[in-house]
Homo-oligomer: A and B are copies of this chain.
């Protein structure tokens, strides 16, 4: 017997369903009908919680963006040499990505067709710029190489970090996850080569 599910959703639990469908079908390819089917409640029940799919997108990418920007306000991102602060930010960014995987995945796939998407892209650029500024400061302090443009370095760094959404799947227990954040930081700052990296292993 199939019956419509009783609507026990809150905006937060409805978001979990919406983000899964957005990631599966793409935001553009998702209709309210798809969301209604996936949640097992009627479209009017969904409208009881949120104004529409754009509100769900805004809430979802806000969750990812808020977590990322919060990292920049943590003590580790505020104190010490710039190189230590940027290492801290990269490590914590990887951790946020792992902890908020579906939300960050959605954020990284946003393309800019709606007002909310353009706002999300703008916020992402702001975050990248903050990291680029840290890299520049660390190069000025002599800790990072000065021969690589900080914008380009940021792009390549986030290329590596963000690629995790393509293949990373959480481990029960999360033991390997700490190691993964370590590995990303180690490769980004010390590279693959053995020369001169002994001090950082």
Footprint of B on A, CB under 8 Å? 26, 29, 83, 135, 138, 142-148, 152-153, 155-164, 166-167, 180, 183-184, 186-197, 199-201
Contact = CB atoms under 8 A, between A and B. Distances in A.
Given A83-B193, A190-B191, A201 B145 contact: yes
A184 B152 CA distance: 9
Contact of A153 (B83, B158, B159, B187): B187
A128 to B, nearest CB: 11
- The residue in A135, A164, A187 that gathers the most chain B C-beta atoms within 10 A of its C-beta is A187
Given A153-B183, A159-B160, 10 more contacts: A26-B26, A135-B192, A145-B190, A145-B192, A157-B192, A158-B163, A187-B188, A191-B191, A195-B196, A196-B197
Contacts of A26: 26
A95 to B, nearest CB: 16
